[in-house]
Structure 1
Amino acid sequence: MYDETTARAARRAADAADDLVELTPATSPARRSSTPAFSFSRRVVALAVSSALSVGALFAFAYASRGGDVDAAGESAEIAVPAAAASAAAAGFADRSQEVSRSSVRDNLTAAVADENAQERAAAMGASVESAAEAEWMTNASERQRLMDADMQLVSAQSAKLKKEAEEAARKLAEAKKAAEAMGVSTSGMSAKEIEDLTTKGGSMPVKSNYRIGAGFGATGSWSRYHTGQDFPAPVGTPIYAVASGVVLSPTAGGWAGINVVIQHSNGGSTLYAHMSGKKVRTGQTVKAGQLIGYVGNTGRSFGAHLHLEYYKPGVTPGDVYAASNPMTFLRSLGVR
């Protein structure tokens, strides 16, 4: 088949060359026969055209033969797939539910362990902070005692002033009582409100919300000697109320108390409210039980926001901490539970 096709292509090329030569203009028969260059050109052109057509025919035959072979192979043979590729594909589509389940369990266990470790670190950090604070307090016990001794000297120097204020408060309380007995007629320039304040009976808790009961009177620990009042831990800004009616005295000069309020009561005793963030009353003002006098803070020598309440019996200078009495006993005497 190859020889026959090639021969046909060669004959077509020769015929085309003859036609091309016939179409070439000639001047005369004599000149055509006598010009060897022109005859050579005819042969060259014929040979080139014949070669081109032969090559084209050859490629056409090869392409046709290849197409037939591919089609025949496609009908009768399967595509060969490497064994490694087939194995990988099978593994990719295999049932992996058990492996996924194990992976999920591992992820859950990892998360649980991480959470537990985080909680342990937080607890350890909190314990470390508390231990450091306690160690600092205990290490500086002598320094705290020195500061408290200095405060007591200030309180002693303030004693005369507070005694005079206490006497004036007692006078107001006595006159308020007389005025109340005389149908509310005010005396010594006191207003009806002042008389009402000073003659109000009963008592009140110093804090009424968001608090808890802290260290009590007489407790030992990080204090210079012992705890001299009753603590009420509460957030900064929690309202503080007068536990009973009375007259506001000057705050104690002891720096340990920070911002503080002192109130003289009708029985001659007084209460001290320490570590406040701010106060709402002034010296000489009358207050009644349950009246707002300030807010919980963390001022002075305080470790954490709380109210420190102290009670001083009649004749004891407010701020003389080691002469203070249990304030909870005083609250119970007012009917406060």
Structure 2
Amino acid sequence: MSEEFDVTPRRGIAIDDTVDSIEDLTPNPSRARRGHGRAKIGKGAVAAVMAGALAAGTLFAYAFAARDSSEPAMSSIGAEAAVPAAALEAAQQGFANRAADVSRNVVRDGLSEEAADANARQRAEAIGQAADDALQAEVSDTALERERLMDADLQLVNQQAEKLKKEAEEAARRLEEAKKIAAASGFKTSGMSSNDVANLTAKGGSMPVKSGFRVGAGFGQRGIWARYHTGQDFPAPTGTPVYAVASGVVLSPTAAGWAGTNVVIQHKPGATLYAHLSRRTVKAGQTVKAGDLIGYVGNTGRSFGSHLHFEYYKNGTTPGDVYQASNPMTFLRSLGVNG
């Protein structure tokens, strides 16, 4: 024991000498401060290492003591070890709660998006239904209005019927006379020129429009018309030339307002009507042959756009009395025209 006490003073002396020598080696104050900072950092690191070692030692002691023990683990664990376990449990619970919150948020967001989509679809369906209802009401109102206007036009046609009948009879007489003149060369009659005879005896047929058009609504088609479509439409730009489809005599235009600017031509088997013109180039009493210019496409009268509305009336009916009209394409085919 005495030898051990003799050793201790010698160690103390050595430490004092070392401290003196360190102080001699630090003449620069800034270096001393940096050394002091490193010393502080070193002490913190040492403290952390020691704390870790104590915790590890405690856990090791607990494991060694509990190896043969039948008591619950928490009964033999020290206070220092219980704190990390509680912290671990709290952390686990915190993460579990957070995961549950995240899951609920995801579900909630998904439900919100689905509800928004459903609401958007319902709004779109409601708007679409409202638009359909409005369109249906507008079409219904338009049809009723067109029916009323057409009835008014038919009254005008009836008032004009007698005049057109007389003109048609005169045209038929001229057509027959022209035929006789052509058969008996040199036969002369008052009011009939050679040009009229040539026009009225010419054969063949022509399309009412020859270029820059397309075939539109046909005869008998149902839609926005008052009852049904009473002719054949040829949509074309305004100003597109319109031609007589066969030889005949020009009658007075129909007084029906729906037709706008129009031309009526009496042929041997019946009459044709060319409606919605922008301008006509012939007048009542004039003779024409197939392919002669009679006017230009327009958008006059009750029209939905620039087009020619072409109708055909058999003998005994009144041009413009639309529900007496026949399929004009059938008449064109009888002339050898396949439009």
Q: TM-score if structure 1 supplies the norm length? A: 0.59
Alignment of 1:92-107 (within 5 A): none
Q: CA deviation at 1:140?
A: 1.7
Name the residue aligned to 2:182.
Answer: 180
Q: Distance in 1 between matches of 2:318 and 2:178?
A: 23
Q: Distance in 1 between matches of 2:172 and 2:135?
A: 43
Alignment of 1:39-78 (within 5 A): none
- SS of 1:151 mapped into structure 2: helix
Q: CA deviation at 1:189?
A: 2.0
Q: Distance in 2 between matches of 1:250 and 1:156?
A: 14
Aligned-residue RMSD, C-alpha? 2.0
Give the letter for the 1:242 counterpart. A
Q: Distance in 2 between matches of 1:166 and 1:332?
A: 23
Give the letter for the 1:266 counterpart. K
> Is 1:149 matched with 2:117?
no
Q: CA deviation at 1:136?
A: 4.2
| Cα deviations by residue, 1:180-201 (Å, 9 ceiling, x for unpaired) | 0011533232100000000001
Name the residue aligned to 1:287.
Answer: 288
Q: Distance in 2 between matches of 1:213 and 1:184?
A: 44
Name the residue aligned to 2:123.
Answer: none
Q: CA deviation at 1:134?
A: 8.4
Name the residue aligned to 1:158.
Answer: 160
Q: CA deviation at 1:203?
A: 0.3
Q: Distance in 2 between matches of 1:297 and 1:133?
A: 27
| Residues 286 and 144 of structure 1, relative CA distance in 2, 3 Å threshold | same
Name the residue aligned to 1:251.
Answer: 253
Q: Distance in 1 between matches of 2:239 and 2:209?
A: 11
Q: Distance in 1 between matches of 2:309 and 2:137?
A: 22
Name the residue aligned to 1:17.
Answer: none
Q: CA deviation at 1:138?
A: 3.8
Q: Distance in 2 between matches of 1:255 and 1:223?
A: 15
| Residues 306 and 136 of structure 1, relative CA distance in 2, 3 Å threshold | farther
- Equivalent pair of 1:176/1:186 in contact (CA under 8 Å): no
| Cα deviations by residue, 1:211-234 (Å, 9 ceiling, x for unpaired) | 000000000000000000000000
Name the residue aligned to 2:173.
Answer: 171
Q: Distance in 2 between matches of 1:186 and 1:205?
A: 32
Alignment of 1:71-150 (within 5 A): 136-150=138-152
| Residues 184 and 227 of structure 1, relative CA distance in 2, 3 Å threshold | farther
Runs of at least 5 residues in structure 2 that lack an aligned partner in the other structure: 1-132
| Cα deviations by residue, 1:271-315 (Å, 9 ceiling, x for unpaired) | 000000000000000000000000000000000000000000011
Name the residue aligned to 2:56.
Answer: none
Q: CA deviation at 1:135?
A: 6.7
- SS of 1:275 mapped into structure 2: strand
- Equivalent pair of 1:277/1:296 in contact (CA under 8 Å): yes
Runs of 4 or more consecutive aligned structure 1 residues displaced over 6 Å after TM superposition: 131-135
| Cα deviations by residue, 1:75-109 (Å, 9 ceiling, x for unpaired) | xxxxxxxxxxxxxxxxxxxxxxxxxxxxxxxxxxx
Q: CA deviation at 1:329?
A: 0.1
> Is 1:336 matched with 2:337?
yes
- SS of 2:250 mapped into structure 1: strand
- Using the aligned pairs only, state the percent identity: 73
Q: Distance in 2 between matches of 1:248 and 1:177?
A: 17
Name the residue aligned to 1:271.
Answer: 272
- Equivalent pair of 1:275/1:306 in contact (CA under 8 Å): yes
- SS of 2:283 mapped into structure 1: coil
Pick aligned residue for 1:227 from 213, 226, 229: 229
> Is 1:206 matched with 2:208?
yes
Q: Distance in 1 between matches of 2:287 and 2:303?
A: 28
| Cα deviations by residue, 1:101-136 (Å, 9 ceiling, x for unpaired) | xxxxxxxxxxxxxxxxxxxxxxxxxxxxxx999874
Alignment of 1:294-333 (within 5 A): 294-333=295-334
| Cα deviations by residue, 1:18-75 (Å, 9 ceiling, x for unpaired) | xxxxxxxxxxxxxxxxxxxxxxxxxxxxxxxxxxxxxxxxxxxxxxxxxxxxxxxxxx
Q: Distance in 1 between matches of 2:134 and 2:297?
A: 25
Give the letter for the 1:317 counterpart. T
- SS of 1:140 mapped into structure 2: helix
Q: Kindly tell me the number of residue pairs found equivalent between the two proteins.
A: 208
- Equivalent pair of 1:184/1:192 in contact (CA under 8 Å): no
- SS of 1:274 mapped into structure 2: strand
- SS of 2:147 mapped into structure 1: helix
Give the letter for the 2:231 counterpart. G
Name the residue aligned to 2:114.
Answer: none
Q: Distance in 1 between matches of 2:244 and 2:260?
A: 18
